[in-house]
Structure 1
Amino acid sequence: MDGKKALGLLLAVAGGIMVLKFFGIHLGALIGTLFAIVLIGLGVVAWRSNRKIIGGIVGAIGILMLLPALSKLIMLGIAVVLILFGISLVKKNNNHRHF
């Protein structure tokens, strides 16, 4: 793909996002997450093409941008583990009572 086609595609996508926003469909969080994933992918590509410093920096920036989105999933995982651990403690048959 040459530069003119890439620019045309980029402008068309930007216009499409603007039209969706006009109709009340907001894709800000999705675009931010996709941008972070693209940065991680570019970092991996740069790393594999022996540009390890640039690839590491770009990949690290992408990971840092993705952390807020992943924090909700991490907290959900912690909550599930706590619930399962609490249920296992309640169900445990404890015949040894210590007063």
Structure 2
Amino acid sequence: MVTTFAMDLFRDPFFIGFNREVERLNNIHREATAQSFPPYNIVKVDDDSYRVSLAVAGFDKKDIEVSVDNQTLIVKGEVTSEETGEVLHKGIAARKFTRTFALGEY
């Protein structure tokens, strides 16, 4: 769920001209919260090896794409299979995501 930061206070005529700034703050907030899924860990295995673990419950291996482009690790996920049977409660998020990690020189 994405929430917006705009408050009725900024709709007051006194704040005319601040609309762009409020919208800019909304965009910054939206981008920051969009990057919170899925959660991840980065573990240093040894001096030049790291392990990145993402919590992607509900995704099959075929639903995850991992690539490297311009020293950026890109992990994309999109659930392509539908649940079989009647789902009584859906508590596991299965939304599409893209997560990027900057890689150092190697």
The structure with the greater share of residues assigned to helix is 1
- Which protein is richer in strand relative to its size? 2
TM over 0.5: no
TM-score by length of 1: 0.28
